[in-house]
Amino acid sequence: MIDETVQSFAKGLDVLRSFSGRSSQTITDVSERTGLTRAAARRFLRTLCQTGLATTDGKSFRLSPAVLELGQAYLSGKTEQQALLDILMDVTRQIGESASAAVLDGTDIIYVSRSAARDRVVSIGLSIGSRLPAHATSMGQALLAQLDPAALDAYFAAARLVALTPHTLTTRKALETRLTEVRARGYAIVTDELEVGLRSMAVPVVSPGRPGIAINTSAQSARVTAEAMVSGYLPVLRRAARQIQGSGLF
């Protein structure tokens, strides 16, 4: 099969993604986060500056507001984005907790919609476009559990199962055991694996032939037990998932 991809373009996108969670980076930072040499990282960063997508003070680099244009093509005219947000906001109204939706992107999940509960505080700042490692998140585990064996093998070949807390699953065996459980019961619960003190629950939106999406809610583990999530939150999430599935949004 002929390779019709442009590797330099892909590497440039990796440089853009490396700014996730960081307001500024040095050449060394970008090199370490992307695996590029310092020389290559410098060329890509200088190119971003030349095209107006980044700025520099000579040492550190920052993305410019112009990068928002890249996402505008996805968001503009997409009434389904508002419909998805409406469904998540309804979840928040019913259970009083934040609700989010995410898709699997490589070894991470990326948030595509979020309804934040005003009086609930989570130390990890989350918004549309936020990325988190799939293995340590409820939405990530819900999505990974839906992959076929070949796709799951590809995930494990690329994933770095880093311990974010003492409770994070960091071996393939442990994560595969968890995914088997998630697949059997139809939902994922993660406690203290992404952040100590945080419990989250996610359900997948199963739509054959469409990209996978999951929705979740989270709460402080000291305030909401796993049993309370299953009895009180799971029915709400499942109804929301059916709404999304039935609407054909994803």
pLDDT in tens, the chain (250 residues): 456 668 888 888 899 989 876 788 999 999 999 999 999 999 999 999 999 889 999 999 998 877 777 766 655 555 677 888 999 999 999 999 999 999 999 999 999 999 988 765 554 567 888 899 999 999 999 999 999 999 999 999 999 999 999 999 999 999 999 999 999 999 999 999 999 999 999 999 987 666 689 999 999 999 999 999 999 999 999 999 998 887 766 6
Give the 3-state secondary structure of residue 5: coil
Residues spanned by CATH 3.30.450.40 within the chain?
77-247
CATH of domain 77-247: 3.30.450.40
Residues spanned by CATH 1.10.10.10 within the chain?
7-69
Give the 3-state secondary structure of residue 59: coil
**Sequence-ordered list of residues with C-beta below 8 angstroms from that of 206, at least 6 positions apart, any chain:** 146, 241, 245
CATH 1.10.10.10 given to domain 7-69? yes
pTM given for the model:
0.71
